[in-house]
Amino acid sequence: MVPRRCLVTGAGRGIGAAVARRLAAQGHAVALTARSADELAAVAADLPGRTLVTAADLTDPDAADLVLGRVEAEFGGAVEVLVLNAGAGTSAPLARTTDEDWARMLELNLTAPFRLLRRALPGMVGQGFGRVVAVASTAAKRGDPYVAAYTASKHGLLGLVRSAAAEVAGSGVTVNAVCPGYADTPMTAATVAAISTATGRTPGQARDVLAGRQPIGRLVDPDEVADAVLLCVASAAITGQGINVDGGAVQS
């Protein structure tokens, strides 16, 4: 495989860290960004090959230009592989979802990826090659109770992916999403803790509840999500897709 210039957002842990490890293992140059410089440094320390750490708050309107500009300067050209993984969740009944909750979900899960995609696409189209993979969620495919803001942001992200893919089809650039179910990540650990607090279940029982929502009967491993990301990076014929990685929970 030809070495590529890559940027992974939310790369300090979980799915983002797994994707960064897999890209680096294939010989790509990998830039990592997230809020926590310490977490990024710990991930980068274990990666082979060329890496770059650039901590940033991607909800800052200037972050996309600053992060991509630094990667381009350090790696010597436009980013070729962009993995939009940074995101967060929130849970509340719709009637108790605040304006602040709503705005935070849209800003981090939809607006920040939009800004990065808008900034990166011209360089990809200009060089005739690009791979964009957004980490969405099965929440991009269905509605569940108590996660209206999160679900709306992920539906929006999948819509952004599909529209962008149609726009650049034929240019050598593909745009896809992967849609994990409940994965074994810090984000799911926070959900487990919230369920435990709200219901009185033990953390183990709460974790089993989430695992049981997937027909395979367990949480998805972050490396299994990375498998789907790497497939999208490798293939020029997969574009405009939302690939479920959820143990069969959502069939499409």
Exactly one of 150, 184, 188, 249 is catalytic; which is it? 150
Q: Is 182 one of the catalytic residues? A: no
Q: Alpha helix locations (H) across 76-185?
A: 99-106, 112-127, 148-168
Token pair, residue 215, equals 């027909």
In this structure, the strands spanning 173-180 and 130-135 are parallel
Instruction: Count CA atoms within 13 Å of residue 240 on its CB side.
Output: 10
Q: Alpha helix locations (H) across the chain?
A: 14-25, 37-45, 63-75, 99-106, 112-127, 148-168, 186-199, 203-211, 222-234
Q: Which residues are catalytic?
A: 150
